[in-house]
Every structure is written in structure tokens, then in C-alpha cells.
Chain A
Amino acid sequence: MSDPARSVEFRGGGFVAQRKRGVGLMVFIVLLLLAEWGTRTGFISALTLPRPSDVLLTFQELYQSGMLFKHLIPSLTRLVIGAAIGATIGITVGVLIGLFSLARAGLVPLVAAIFPIPKIALLPLFVIWFGIDEMSKYALIAFGTFTPTVVATYAAVDNVDRTLIRMGQSFGLSWRSIVAKIVLPGAMPGILSGLRISLTIAIILLVAAEMLGAEYGIGAYILQAGSLYDLERLFAGVVILSVLGVVVSGVIGAVERRVLRWRV
């Protein structure tokens, strides 16, 4: 009993996602400073990586010449319309698969068959079907958003707590009420995390579609810069895409925090 007292070692904690503001920003800043320092000292040659400050200057030019919005607005329009079509159809089909065994039996193999097709490879087909202009781009983006959304949605519907559904039935709720008030809200977390992935895929496909045939758009801008080996402009375009990705992720995060406040 003469052993010295020692406090019990803490070994709990962790494994919980916490909000830490500013850390993400710090990572970006540190990487940029490293690149700036490397290119200035000659540690990184100008051919390998453009200097971040030069990219910033290019970006400024782009903004001042008014070309930024000339490229950005058509791109955003394509992204929003295409992703909205794809996500809407995807969520609808996913819910149908989740609710009806017949839809599941018929559509799950089909979805599995089209999931691994690189959608970019189908662009010529879409051009034939929908014409060279905007429709084919919407279709490509929508198609690419559709498949991951379907899979995420029906998995989310499958995961809704069955005891809650039995509860709804035992209180005599109508089928519509059960779907609208129990199944859909219960599937919401899974649907939102599916959207995180499918919207990112939509950005990738946006660029691909614009590279193949568009006068304006971020993809077209990057393609032009790339064919001239103009690394500053290429990177300015890439930065826009990255910012777009961060914005999409941020928007979904904000929606999740609002809609999923009830989660423990």
C-alpha cells in the first residue's frame, strides 16, 4: 500500500469528427509558400511548376479582362443543370429501387453494368444523340452524376431503421406518409454523402465535355493553355476547378449541418 499514487492514464477520446476551423486553409497556405519558395530559389525549375505569384497575376488579368466570367458562367450553368438533372433522376430511381422489389430486380444489374463505363468515352455518342451544343454536355454530366447517386440512394433507403417503418405501419400511416416522413428523412444522410461524390464527378465530366468542344468554359480555357504550354494559365484554370470542388464540398457540409442536426 506504500506504492506512490499515479493518475490513471487517459486512453479514451478520438474517433469523433470535430470541427477544426482554419486547418484546411493552413495546409493550402503552407503548400503554396513551399512552391513559391522553391521556384524563387531555383530549387524547383520554372518548367516544372509555375510560380504561385505568377499564377495569381494571370488570374488577376483574367479577372480584369472580364474573361473570367465569360468562362466561368457557361461552366457553372452546365454544372448546375447537368448535375441537377442527374441527381434528381438518380435519387428518384434510387428510392424506387429501395422501395420496390421489382424495380430492384430489374434495375440493379443495369446500374451495375453502366457504372464502370467511363462516361467520357460516350461523349461522341451523346453528340450524335443530342447535338454538338449544350444538350450533349448536360447529358454527359447528368449521366455521370446519375450512377453514383442511384447506388448511394438505394443503399441509404435499405439502411433506414425497419423498426421505424413498422412503427409507422402500426399507427396506420399511409404508404405516402411512411415514404415521405420516415424513409426519405432516414435516408438523407446516405443520400447527401452520395451527392458529395457524384457532384465531384460532375466537375470532372464538365471539364472533359468542354475540352471536346466548347468556345468558352473552364475546360476550354485549360485546354487552350495546355496546348500552348502556358503553365501559368493552365494552373489558373486548375485553381478555379479546385475552388469549385471546395465550394461544392462546403455547400454540402452546410446542408448536412442544417438538415442532419438530429444526428447523435
Chain B
Amino acid sequence: MDLRLDNVSHHYGDTEVFRDISLEIPSGQIVCIVGPSGCGKSTLLRMLGGLEQPTSGRVLQLGAPPQGCLNPLTYIFQDFALLPWRSVRGNISLVLEDHKMTPKAREEIIADVLARTKLSEFADALPKQLSGGMKQRVAIARALAVNPAVMLMDEPLSALDSQTRELLMDDLISLWTRQPFTAVYVTHNLAEAVRLGHKIVVLSRRPGQIREVVSLETPLAERRYGDASLEAQQQHLWGLMRDEAAAADAELLHV
């Protein structure tokens, strides 16, 4: 299942958040969205998942979601959004309880996603007992449990320290190589974008428009921390971003 944005524009009252965004999210690929603060990345992601409606333009879903998909468009949130009163198992079970399935089938899904995210030992822990990185792994496990067609991630790693971030990025890459998933990944961090993205969309400052779409050909599994060609891409992206960020800053001074 692909997603397509068709000339999407959005206003909040008088503020024009973004203008005329057209974008294709092909299945099996990770599309990263980068851009200066306030250019509407989170808003765009909310529209992709149906949590908000654009002022004009359309968000289209092309083709049917694959068999066995319980929640085609699934989010992973920056602040994890785990229910503090439910255990790790309970948090994953939450998103399955509204679907018709036998308790045994549900247990199997939970065991499977816990194993894939290396959390089996912590099934009965409460969120308050987990570190930030583990909480985000629980959120990833929860998203995997509904077998999504597209994962929508809004700065999923930015609440974590840089070592945990590296580890989780490796986890995401190995999850993807074992079973390619489609994802839209919003980030501030260009290093993350060049590690994970098949396509990197650079947005301009508000009103957000697409500045450039960079495609990276190196397979995910072969991208290494500190790789020279990735470094070059990152430099290029930073060149684009710097002008926007500087201009956005200057604008703030003039209000």
C-alpha cells in the first residue's frame, strides 16, 4: 500500500503552515522528512495518519493494506505514549483487544513482537521501571503488533541519549532488513535521516514547501556509522537546512 499527498496545504487560523505539498510514499521504503522547527512536519504526519484534516488537497491511500494488517497507519510517538498503569505486555495487548481474535492468537502476537524487539524478559514490567530506550522499544513492539502498512514516526529517538539512539537505529535497520516496512520518519537529526532514509524530503521554513528530495541508493544494511559517502550527503543536506534555519531565525527576530 502506497500513500500519496496531493497538493496539500494547511492553515491554522492566519498561520499558513505548509503549502502545496505533493509527495509519494512507496511501499517498502523509509521516507525521512527534515526541516526547520515549526515548518509543519508533525502536522503533516498527523494528516498522513488521519488525526488531522488538511485545509486543502488530499491524502490518498493507494491500494489495499496487506492481509492481516490490523491498523494500516500506525504511529510511534516521540514521548512513547505508553499507558503507565499497564505492563509492557498490557500495553501491547491494548491495541489488540479491540480486534476479534482468540486469546491464544493474541498471546502469540505479543510473544512474537516482544522477541523481535528483545523485550521478552520485561513483559511484566511497568513503564516506570524501564529506561527511555526500552520504553521506545515497547512502543515499537506495540506498533509491530498491529502489523502496520505504514509506520508514522515523529522524532521517535529525540528523547533518547545518543548511545541509545545508535542502538535503536541499528534495531530499526535490522527489523527493516528482515522484513521491509514502509515508514515516514520525521527527524531533526540529519545523521538519522541518512542512516534510515531511502528518500529524504527537505522542507523549507514556514510556510513549508518541498525544497528538495534526496534519494539514497546504498542499501540500509550497508550504511555504517561515519560512512564517507553518507557524510557527504549529510553535508549537502546541512547546506540546504542551514539557509532555511538561519532565515527562520532571522524572521523570529523581526516579529
Residues of A participating in the B interface, judged by any CB pair closer than 8 Å: 163-164, 166-174, 177, 181-182, 185-186, 188, 260-264
| Contacting pair A181 B83 (CB below 8 A) | yes
Q: Which of B19-27, B69-77, B192-200 contacts A (4 or more CB under 8 A)?
A: B69-77
Question: Which 9 pairs, one residue from A and one from B, show the smallest C-beta to C-beta distance?
Answer: A167-B81, A262-B85, A171-B95, A170-B75, A264-B128, A262-B84, A185-B85, A172-B71, A163-B81
Contact of B77 among A163, A182, A262, A264 (CB under 8 A): A163
Shortest Cβ distance from residue A167 to the other chain B in the assembled complex, whole angstroms: 4
- Residue pairs across A and B with CB atoms within 8 Å: the count is 53
User: Are A181 and B94 touching (Cβ within 8 A)?
Assistant: yes
Cα–Cα, bound, A177→B86 (Å): 14
- Which residues of B are interface residues toward A (Cβ below 8 A)? 49, 51, 70-71, 73-75, 77, 79, 81, 83-86, 94-95, 97-98, 126-128, 142, 146
**A262: contacting residue among B81, B95, B126, CB under 8 A:** B126
In the docked arrangement, what's the CA distance between A171 and B22, Å?
Answer: 26
Please state if B83 and A264 are interface contacts (CB–CB under 8 Å).
no
Interfacial chain A residues near B74, Cβ < 8 Å = 170-171
Using A171-B71, A177-B98 as known contacts, say yes or no to A166 and B51 having CB atoms under 8 A apart: yes
**A169 surroundings in chain B (CB, below 8 A):** 51
Contact flag A173-B95 (CB < 8 Å), given A167-B77, A262-B126: yes
Chain A contacts for B77, CB-based, 8 A: 163, 167
Q: A170-B74, A171-B74, A171-B146 are in contact. Are A163 and B79 (CB under 8 A)?
A: yes
| Inter-chain contacts of B79 with A (CB < 8 A) | 163
Complex Cα spacing A171 to B92, Å: 11
List residues of chain B with CB within 8 A of the CB of A188: 85
Contact yes or no, A185 B49, CB < 8 A:
no
Which of A170, A177, A182, A260 is within 8 Å of B51, CB to CB? Answer: A170
A89 to chain B, nearest CB (A): 25
Within the assembled complex, what's the spacing in Å between the Cα atoms of A164 and B82?
7
A172 nearest CB neighbor, chain B only: B71
Q: Which of B83, B128, B146 contacts A182 (CB 8 A)?
A: B83
Task: Enumerate chain A residues within 8 angstroms of B85, measured Cβ to Cβ.
Answer: 185-186, 188, 260, 262
User: With a CB–CB cut-off of 8 A, which chain A residues contact B81?
Assistant: 163-164, 166-167
Closest to B95 in A: A171
Beyond the given A167-B77, A170-B73, A171-B95, please list 18 additional residue pairs across the A-B interface where CB-CB is below 8 A: A164-B83, A166-B51, A166-B81, A169-B51, A170-B51, A170-B71, A170-B74, A171-B71, A171-B142, A172-B71, A174-B98, A177-B97, A188-B85, A260-B85, A262-B86, A262-B127, A262-B128, A264-B84
